[in-house]
Structure 1
Amino acid sequence: MDADHAAADELRRLRGGFDAAAEDYQRTRPVCPPRLFDDLVEQAGLEPGDRVVEIGCGTGQATVPLARRGLAVTAVELGAGLAAVARRRLAGFPAAEVVTSSFEDWRPGEAPVDAVVAVNSLHWVDPALRYSKPHDLLRPGSALAVADCLWARPTDADPFWTEVQEDYQAVGFEGGPPPPPERIGPRHLPPEAESLFEEVASLRYPFEVVYRADDYVANLATQSGTNALGEPRRTEFLTRVRHRLRSLGDPRLTATFVGLLTVGRRR
Structure 2
Amino acid sequence: MDGLGLTFDTIAERYDRVRPGYPAAVFDDVATLAGARAGTRVLEIGPGPGTATRALLARGWRVHAVEPGAALAGLAVANLAGQPFTVDVTRFDDWVPDRSYDMLFSATAYHWVAPEHRWRLAAGVLDPGGALALVTNRTVAGGNFNDIYQASADLHARHAPEVEFGLSPSAGEILAGVHAAADDIGAVWEVAEPKAGHSRAGASFTPPVIRSYEWETTYDTDDAAALLSTYSVYLGVPPERRTPLLTGIADIVRTDFGGVATRRYLAILAVAHRREPGQDRQA
If the length of structure 1 is used for normalisation, what is the TM-score?
0.88
Correspondence for 1:211: 219
CA RMSD of aligned residues (A): 2.0
**Cα deviation, residue 207, structure 1:** 0.6
SS class of match (1:184): helix
Q: Count residues in correspondence.
A: 255
- Which of 114, 131, 150 is equivalent to 2:119? 131
**Cα deviation, residue 174, structure 1:** 1.8
SS class of match (2:142): coil
Amino acid corresponding to residue 33 of structure 1 in structure 2: P
SS class of match (2:139): strand
Change (3 A) 1:36 1:225: same
Q: Is the 8 A contact 1:54 1:116 kept in 2?
A: yes
Q: CA offsets per residue over residues 174-210 of structure 1, 9 Å max, x none?
A: 2411112332217341251122111231111111111
- Which of 103, 126, 137 is equivalent to 2:92? 103
**Cα deviation, residue 158, structure 1:** 7.9
Amino acid corresponding to residue 30 of structure 1 in structure 2: P
1:46 corresponds to 2:33: no
Higher mean alpha-carbon deviation, 229-238 vs 128-137, is at 229-238
Counterparts of residues 169-248 of structure 1 (less than 5 Å): 169-170=157-158, 171-172=160-161, 173-185=163-175, 187=178, 188=182, 189-191=185-187, 192-248=200-256
Q: Work out the CA distance in 2 between the residues paired with 1:218 and 1:70.
A: 33
Correspondence for 2:193: none
Amino acid corresponding to residue 269 of structure 2 in structure 1: L
- Percent of aligned positions with the same letter in both sequences? 33
SS class of match (2:15): helix
SS class of match (1:190): helix
**Cα deviation, residue 68, structure 1:** 0.5
Correspondence for 1:153: 141
**Cα deviation, residue 229, structure 1:** 2.6
**Cα deviation, residue 159, structure 1:** 4.0
Counterparts of residues 15-54 of structure 1 (less than 5 Å): 15-54=5-44
**Cα deviation, residue 250, structure 1:** 5.8
- Which of 251, 262, 267 is equivalent to 2:270? 262
Q: Is the 8 A contact 2:133 2:272 kept in 1?
A: yes
Q: Is the 8 A contact 2:151 2:252 kept in 1?
A: no
Q: Work out the CA distance in 1 between the residues paired with 2:209 and 2:156.
A: 35
Q: CA offsets per residue over residues 149-169 of structure 1, 9 Å max, x none?
A: 011122887843542344334
Q: Work out the CA distance in 2 between the residues paired with 1:56 and 1:199.
A: 23
Change (3 A) 1:250 1:75: farther
Correspondence for 1:14: 4
Q: Work out the CA distance in 2 between the residues paired with 1:250 and 1:214.
A: 12
Q: Is the 8 A contact 1:206 1:258 kept in 2?
A: yes
SS class of match (2:175): coil
Q: Work out the CA distance in 1 between the residues paired with 2:232 and 2:263.
A: 18
If the length of structure 2 is used for normalisation, what is the TM-score?
0.84
**Cα deviation, residue 249, structure 1:** 7.3
